[in-house]
Amino acid sequence: MEGADYGVLAPAWAGTAASALASDAAFVQGMLDAEAAWVKVQADAGLCSIEDAQAVREVASVDRYDLALLASKTPDGANALIPLLGMMRELLTHDGSAKTASTALHRGATSQDIIDTALMLVLSKTITLTLADLRSTAGGLADLAREHRSTVCIARSLTQHALPTTLGWKAASWLSAVLDAERQLDAAAGQLRLQWGGAVGTLASLEQLLSSHAETTATSKSLASQLAGLLGLADPGTPWHTNRMPILQLGSALGSAIAALGTFGADVLTASRPEIGELSEPREAGKGGSSAMPQKQNPVRSVLLRNAAFSAPGLLSTLFTAAGTAVDERPDGGWHAEWSALRELARLASGAAFHAAFLANGLGVNLAAIERNLALGGDAVLSERLAAALSPLVVGGKPAIQALVRRSLDEDVSLRELLRLEVPTHDLGDKDLDELLDPAGYLGAADRFTDTVLADYSARKELWQSRN
């Protein structure tokens, strides 16, 4: 379709399910669904006929609308609903529907009611998909943490070799962040809410309509509750026209998921450099190739996680700026700025979760490279341990040990040999010194931390399964 947004410049979500779930067509369908549901609620309350509700439902299919034409008309009223309503009424007339159907359409509502609600409907589907992929990512990372619970590797601080750790604890650290993000997004998903307030958030028009129908027992409160239930959204009880906290909660949750996955992707990118080679992305036919260098296998999944992480902060800034400058009973431009920012965050989060799930469940581990890189630092990577354990045995204490470490590095001399010269064997035997220099003996609480995160994952997984 000419003018359609397929994601050509957005590889993090292009080609994923998010591209369809959060498309222009999906948003328009959300507006149509909201309008059709509202007429049905009116019909159920005796405020219009069942035939009216059916007629509106018949025109509430996005396939019946020219989205390019709709987009071209959107600037005329600063939102897409205004021209969409005109198109809906034209179709109602074309279909031979009763005039009462057009009267019931959008009655008592305002553009913000429908647009905010439609965004919630789009996000509901997108977040459901994102959560499923986050949980798959968590499963892959949990397997990695279990398998490599005791695999000793070098930890890095400010890009430099620091101390020994385990690959299991690194994987558990990624997992912990993913679980936190999943919890936050899951909680936000439970708060996807209906917007229903009428022109200025008072439902004055609807209240007046109800007052003219003495035969109905419906109230504006009960109708809003029914509408929320029909659409599968929470009923907040009050409108949130300029209270943009629901948007910020959703945006923050999406941003948190993107950030957690971005960290995972960044670590894989570093570890997959050929000169490091500890981790590798799964090879996939047709993925990771270079346009000019056929020998390259680019870590494209990790690159796309980084792409999402780089892209998200600006979108979050837009949401917070819009929320902080919302005025009167409808924001003058800030509300409009939210739409594309929130949708793009949803797309990025869904796309990132999709790629992360594949990566986490197929990540390659090169044990030989891990051992090689651990050995690069030599005995110096145990310097923290040596300083604490040997200070009482060396004249000059801890500063003297640190000086030996620096000398070892500067002169490329074995630290073990220097220590052997400084510490008498009767104070520290060769076997004891070897034990002090064994990286596997200086892992602190890495195993316990790994097990704690894995236990958290298991409990969380049980909750997911209990919902099915």
Of the residues 330, 416, 420, 460, only one is catalytic, namely: 330
173 catalytic? Reply is no
What whole-number distance in Å separates Cα of residue 336 and Cα of residue 338? 5
431's tokens: 């076997």
72 catalytic? Reply is no
Of the residues 72, 290, 340, 414, only one is catalytic, namely: 290
The set of catalytic residues is: 290, 330
